[in-house]
Structures are given as structure tokens and as C-alpha cells.
Amino acid sequence: MSQARSAREEGGARTDVRRRHDPEERGFASDNYAGVHPEVLAALAVANGGHQSSYGADAYTARLQEVVRGHFGPTAEAYPVFNGTGANVVALQAVTERWGAVICAESAHINVDECGAPERVGGLKLLTVPTPDGKLTPELVDREAYGWDDPHRAMPQVVSLTQTTELGTCYTPAEVRALCEHAHERGMVVHMDGARIANAAATLDVPMRTFTNAVGVDILSFGGTKNGALLGEAVVVVNPGAVRGLPHLRKLSMQLASKSRFISVQLEALLAGDLWLRNARHANAMAQRLAAGVREVAGVEILYPVQSNGVFARLPHDAAERVRKRFPFYFWDEAAGDVRWMCSFDTTEEDVDAFVDALREELGR
């Protein structure tokens, strides 16, 4: 009798896995702190068992293509990857040449939070532009959109915008269209970092296609992890004519999962119905509740419009440190006293209200 058959017949050995965290602990540090949505966990169980072809040649990845085309148009194709940095690096490599450069906001995740991966792994140059609210405009793009014939300068080939931005602000469809038209007129491709693309759709109350394929976005990174997935994002090619070598680049960049079905089925669980939108709407609503609560707390200043699932604020440093011991969150600019508070699909009204009470208490000392 084989070991596998014996394990099946005897029920298999149980591993001694014990809970090593307090499931009641709550925080506002990151939407990455949240667990996995129960519907996504259930989808993983459905995809488990038996054998399926590896490296994306499975039934779940095939189904994902149909689902993605329903959101991003008939030419869309999804390439599942492990994480958001991987999605951005693979996508940007696919739309640049070795001498290519990417114009982005100075605050963009690809510039600030990816440890230089687009430049060191992707081999491209980032041309950054300071913005007051995290959003690019055609005029801001033009600060770096020049010198295509200058062999001494990296060639601007891509405009990368983040939806929603790193500062929690949201581009309107008209704003994205203006950027796409401006970039295309200058021979550049448009990439969207959509780590929180679901939150943008929830804020705008429009389908994702309204501010992606319908207005000229060529390629995007679709975020699943911050929206309730265990892990996994996707590079979504909207305009196949703008992209080269993406299947090879994904493998070269160590982003091709052998058991791709377990990434694809999570994205299917989010996107085939309305789970992606339910999760985003809830997280956004909790951020609005948080913003409304802290506006009533003396000593707290909200820094940017709350248009996603994050609230950026300024408060005295010592008070922030005391509150952080009760509810984890990050400083955005510690010297200035700027902080970021993020809400998730599982943030509750009670979580928000308790946090506001803690802020009021510590600031009242």
C-alpha cells in the first residue's frame, strides 16, 4: 500500500499548528494586516485536491481570463503573479526597452516602496515628478516628457499612475483619459498600478473599465491582496499591441507560480461576482467613518481628501506614539507628525469607534 493511499484511508497525520496571535487584535497600519476573506478561503478549498496542470495551464487560470475580460474588455489577458511589486516590475518591463524610462509621481509606490526593484530588477529608469496630492496631470508629465532623441538621457516610454494614489486620492475617469491621450500623443504607453483599484471603483461608483480600458490604459497591475486575497495579483494586458515578451518576463522575474491555480482561483472569487466591490465599499466606508470621527478630535488635522480606504492625518508625535501602543499604525512622515490609518474589508464600526475614543483620550492628556 502506498504512503499516499495509507494516509487517505487513515485520515492522514495531523500537524500540530496552534494559533500564535490574538485574533481580537485590531489595527490601522495596513490593509495587508487583514486576514483572508472567508469566500476566498472557500475558493482555495474548491481548487484543492487532485492534479491540475502547472504554470498557468490549468482550468482556474483559463476561467480567470474570461472573468477579467468581463471587467477590462475583450482583448484583456491576465497574468497571475505573487505580489504587487512583481506585478509592477513585470508590467513595466513589458512596455519598455533597455534604454526606457517611466514617468511617475514622486510619491508612487514604484519609486518609494519597492526597494528600487523597477530599476534594479526591471532595468529601467524612473523619472519622478513632485505632486501636491499624489496625482499626475498632463502638465506634470511634461516636466519629464522630453529628450526622446537625446542618447544621453533615458527615453520616456511609459507614464505610470497609481489608482488610488499612495496618498489615498482618486483619479476621475476624465483625468485618466487626459493622461492617456497626452501620453499616447507623445508615443508613450500608460501603466496603472492598481493595488487599490477596487477602492477607486467603489469611490467613483463606476465599473473598473470606466477608468481603464475605456479611457486608454494599456496595461495595469490588479491588486488582490489588499482586497481580501491570501496572496496574488495579476498583470492585466489591456492593449496587446503595447506589450512584448510578458510570459518570458514573468518567469525571468521569478513571478510565475507553479501552482498558479491557487492564485487564479482567489482572483476569480473576487472578480466573478461582486466580492471585490463589497470589500472595497466596506473598507472605504470605514475610512469615511474614521475621518468623520477624528474631525471631532481637537489636535488632529486630516491632510488629504479621503477618497479610498486610508486617512492621512497630522497630530502631536507623543500622542501618536501612545495611541500606536493600543492600535498599530504607521508614521507617514515622522518628523512632521504625519500618520496613515488604513481600513480593511474586515474593519468594523466598533474598531473605528474604539480607535477614535483612544485618540480623543490620548490627545486630551
Q: Give the mean pLDDT of 103-107.
A: 98
Q: Cβ of 360: how many Cβ atoms within 10 Å?
A: 17
Amino acid in the structure at residue 70:
G
14: pLDDT confidence band, cut at 50, 70 and 90? Answer: confident
Domains of the chain: 38-271 (3.40.640.10), 275-363 (3.90.1150.10)
N-to-C CA span, the chain: 70
Q: Cβ of 247: how many Cβ atoms within 10 Å?
A: 13
Task: At 37, list the grid cell.
Answer: 476573506
312: DSSP letter: E
Tens-digit pLDDT profile for residues 25-77:
999 999 999 999 999 999 999 999 999 999 999 999 999 999 999 999 999 99
What pLDDT does residue 11 have? 54
Is residue 6 pLDDT above 80, yes or no? no
Q: Which stretches of 186-316 are DSSP H helices?
A: 197-204, 246-252, 261-271, 275-294
If you write DSSP's letter for every residue of 123-146 in order, what string do you get? --EEEEE--SSS---HHHHTTT--
Q: Give the C-alpha separation, 287 to 310, whole Å.
A: 6
Is residue 235 pLDDT above 90, yes or no? yes
Q: Give the C-alpha separation, 27 to 151, whole Å.
A: 50
What pLDDT does residue 365 have? 83
7: pLDDT confidence band, cut at 50, 70 and 90? Answer: very low
Tens-digit pLDDT profile for residues 167-220:
999 999 999 999 999 999 999 999 999 999 999 999 999 999 999 999 999 999
In Å, how far are 136, 166, 182, 324 from 142, measured between CA atoms? 10, 21, 9, 41
Tens-digit pLDDT profile for residues 304-320:
999 999 999 999 999 99
Task: At 192, list the grid cell.
Answer: 496603472
Cis, peptide link before residue 164, omega less than 30° from 0: yes
Closest CA to 195 of 239, 225, 240: 225
Q: What is the pTM of this model?
A: 0.94
Q: Give the mean pLDDT of 273-284.
A: 98
Closest CA to 97 of 189, 213, 192: 189
In Å, how far are 27, 243, 273 from 82, measured between CA atoms? 25, 20, 22
Residues contacting 149, CB < 8 A, separation 6+? none
